[in-house]
């Protein structure tokens, strides 16, 4: 998604890293897709070698010490053998974590600015 541009440099939002990036216009191509068939986020995740989180299964650690928290992640379209423990700092902005925290009665841990 285009955020801004100046001359031949475009600022774009990276949906995988959730950060802004600058790209020269010559390196850009329009992405045509049918939204009924293709999910652009899935394409972007595949390019980065990442998977979409299906849900958070459980957690370990002390909820009063965020650095100790880890969450067991189940990846979308993957078998349970690929489940992985991910630390708080890597998941803190993820909606799947926010849904898990809300369901577990831990809404207080959802960072400000996010709604569940």
pLDDT the model gives residue 91: 92
pLDDT the model gives residue 65: 96
Q: How far apart are CA 87 and CA 69, in angstroms?
A: 6
pLDDT the model gives residue 96: 94
In the chain, ranges of CATH 2.40.50.40 domains: 53-109
CATH number of 53-109: 2.40.50.40
Return the number of other C-beta atoms located less than 10 Å from residue 111's C-beta.
Answer: 9
CB of 12 within 8 A of CB of 21? yes
Q: What's the pTM value of the predicted model, to 2 decimals? A: 0.61
**14 bridge partner residues:** 19
Q: Pairing between strand 53-60 and 70-75? A: antiparallel
Find how far residue 56's CA is from the centre of its chain: 13
Both tokens assigned to 73: 């992640």
pLDDT the model gives residue 27: 93
């Amino acid at each position: 998604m285009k955020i801004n541009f100046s001359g031949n440099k475009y600022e774009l939002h990276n949906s995988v890293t959730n950060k802004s990036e600058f790209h020269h216009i010559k390196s850009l191509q329009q992405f045509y897709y049918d939204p009924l068939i293709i999910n652009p986020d899935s394409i972007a995740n595949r390019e980065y070698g990442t998977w979409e989180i299906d849900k958070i299964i459980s957690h370990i650690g002390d909820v009063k010490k965020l650095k100790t928290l880890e969450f067991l992640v189940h990846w979308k379209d993957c078998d349970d053998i690929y489940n992985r423990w991910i630390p708080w700092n890597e998941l803190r902005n993820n909606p799947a974590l926010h849904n898990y925290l809300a369901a577990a009665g831990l809404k207080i841990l959802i960072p400000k600015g996010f709604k569940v």
